[in-house]
Amino acid sequence: MSRLLLVIYPKTCSTKIAIFDNRKQTFLMNIKHSPEAFSNSKSFSDQYEYRKNAILDELRKSNIDSHLIKIIIGRGGLLKPMEGGVYKVSNTMLNDTLNPMVDHESNLGGMLAYGIAQETGQDIPSIIVDPACVDEMEEVFKISGFPEIPRRSILHTLNQRTIARNFAREIGKNYEEINVIVANISQGISVGAHKQGKIIDVNNGLVGEGPMSTERSGGVPLGRLVEMCFSGKYTKQQIKCKLKGDGGAFAYIGSRNYIEIEKKIEDGDAYAALIFSAIAVQVAKEIAGLTASLKGQVDGILITGELAHSNLLVTQITEMVSHLGTVRNYPGEEEMEALAMHGYMVLDGEIEMKEYI
C-alpha cells in the first residue's frame, strides 16, 4: 500500500520538492522562481502564498494525489535556539517564523509544510527536523569576549548529523558513542564538534564566523571592519552583502562557482589558486581548533557539502588535518533523504515529535 510523503526544501530562488513512497524516492523537482515574482517581497515569509501555489500546481501537473500523502516535512528555519530532533509545526512555531532570528529562506519550510497539509483536507502531520538553529553548545563555547554578543549555534545541522550517523554505522558504532568533527563546506561553511550525540561547539555558519567560502567573508579583522562600517563609504546593507553573498572568493576573483574557479586554476591563474588555497587553509584551521573542544579524542574528520565535490579543495584540507584523525569525504548534501527518513520514523512510531514552545 502506498504511503506517500512530501518533502519541501526552500532555497533562495527555488523550492525543491520530493515525493517518497514507502521510503523510496519516486519524484523530485526543483521549482525555479523568477526574481520578478519576489520583487515586492520585503521578507521571505511574504513569498509563502506564491511558493505554496507553485508546489500545488506542480503536484497537480505531475498527477500526484495529495490525498495519499501521509506526512509533510519542511526544511527547518532559523527560529529560537532549540535542541535537536523532530518538531511538529504548531501555531507557536508559525508565529515565531514571522519574527525569526534571521530572515532566511529556510523559514518557509515549516510554513509551507503546514499550509499544504491544510490544503489536503486531511489531518496529517507537518514537521521540521534538526533546523539550523539547533543549539547544543556547551556554555563555555558561547563566550565571545563581548557579553552583549554571545557566540551563536547556526549550522547545517541536518546534513552534519546525517553524515556523522552514517560514519558511525560504517565503523560499527552508534552516533552517541563517537566524537567527530564535521566540516560542511558549501556557500556557507559550518564546522562542528560532535561529542557523543551532541554538537557541542560550532562556528556560526550563516555569517560572521569561521572560514570564508566562495561567497561569504567568514571571520575578518575586527578593527578594520569597524573602521569600514563607520567610514561613511558603505551602507549597512552593503556591509552585510560583503559579509554574505559578495564576500569570500567572489570578492577576490569574481566567481562563486567552484567549477569555474577550478577552471581558472587549470588555466594557470595563480591568484585564483591562492584564494582557493585560502579557503582550504581556513577550513583546516577551524577543524584543528575543534580538536581542542573534543580534548583530542577524535574518531573521524568528515567533510561534506557542495564544495566537497572539489577534489582539489578536499585534498588540500586533508593534507593539513590528516595527522589529527581519520578523514572521510562525503560530497554533496543528503537533506531530502534525511528529512524523508525522519518522516517515516514518525509514521512508524520509531521517533516522537517534539512540541515547539
pLDDT tens figures, 39-98: 888 999 999 999 999 999 999 999 998 888 999 999 999 999 999 999 999 999 999 998
- 15 and 85 belong to one structural domain: yes
- 312 and 226 belong to one structural domain: yes
Task: For the full predicted model, state whether its pTM sits above 0.85.
Answer: yes
**What angle is formed at CA 220 by the lines to CA 11 and CA 147, rounded to 5 degrees?**
90
As a whole number, mean pLDDT of residues 148-168 equals 95
Give residue 164's pLDDT. Answer: 97
- 295 and 342 belong to one structural domain: no
- 176 and 94 belong to one structural domain: no
Evaluated on CA atoms 137, 139, 140, 144, the torsion sign reads positive
Q: Which domain holds residue 64?
A: 4-131+335-347
CATH classification at residue 95 = 3.30.420.40
Residue 282 resides in a domain: yes
* Residue range 121-154, pLDDT digits in tens: 889 999 999 999 999 999 999 999 999 999 999 9
- 100 and 174 belong to one structural domain: no
- 78 and 215 belong to one structural domain: no
- 13 and 114 belong to one structural domain: yes
- 295 and 341 belong to one structural domain: no
CA separation for the pair 158, 305 (Å, rounded):
12
Residue 150 resides in a domain: no
Q: pLDDT band at residue 187, thresholds of 50, 70 and 90?
A: very high
Average pLDDT value for the chain = 95
Phi and psi (nearest 5°) for 93?
-65, -45
Put the strands of the sheet holding 198-202 in their side by side order.
198-202, 189-195, 179-185, 300-305, 327-331
- 189 and 297 belong to one structural domain: yes
Q: With 90 as the cut, is the pLDDT of residue 177 above it?
A: yes
Q: With 80 as the cut, is the pLDDT of residue 201 above it?
A: yes
Q: pLDDT band at residue 322, thresholds of 50, 70 and 90?
A: very high
Give residue 66's pLDDT. Answer: 83
**Burial letters for 147-184: b for 16+ Cβ neighbours within 10 Å, e otherwise?**
eeeebbbbbbbbbbbbbbbbbbeeeeeebeebbbbbbb
Spatial contact of 294 and 287, defined as CB atoms under 8 Å apart: no
Give residue 2's pLDDT. Answer: 79
- 243 and 118 belong to one structural domain: no
Looking at the structure of the chain, the number of domains it has is: 2
